[in-house]
Amino acid sequence: MIDQPWFLAVLDTRPSEFEDYHYSVCFINQSDTVIDQLTYTVSGQIKAYHHPISAEETRELGELKPHYVVEIEHVPKKGFIGDLTYSFDITTEGKKETLHFFIPKQLTGAAFSLYDLPIVHQRGYFFLGEPNF
pTM, rounded to two decimals: 0.87
Mean per-residue pLDDT of the chain:
89
Higher-pLDDT residue of 91, 123: 91
The most confident of the ranges 12-16, 66-70, 75-79 is 66-70
Average pLDDT over residues 32-58: 88
CA distance 35 to 91: 6
Question: Coil, strand or helix: which one is 98?
Answer: strand
Average pLDDT over residues 108-124: 89
Q: Going edge to edge, which strands form the sheet with 51-64?
A: 51-64, 35-48, 83-92, 95-103
Question: What is residue 81's predicted lDDT score, i.e. its pLDDT?
Answer: 83
Closest by CA position to 86, among listed 97, 75, 74, 72: 72
Higher-pLDDT residue of 52, 87: 87
Integer CA distances (angstroms), 115 to 2, 21, 28, 93, in order: 11, 22, 16, 32
CA distance 1 to 7: 12
Query: pLDDT category, 86, cuts 50, 70, 90?
Result: very high
Query: pLDDT category, 114, cuts 50, 70, 90?
Result: confident
CA distance 68 to 58: 21
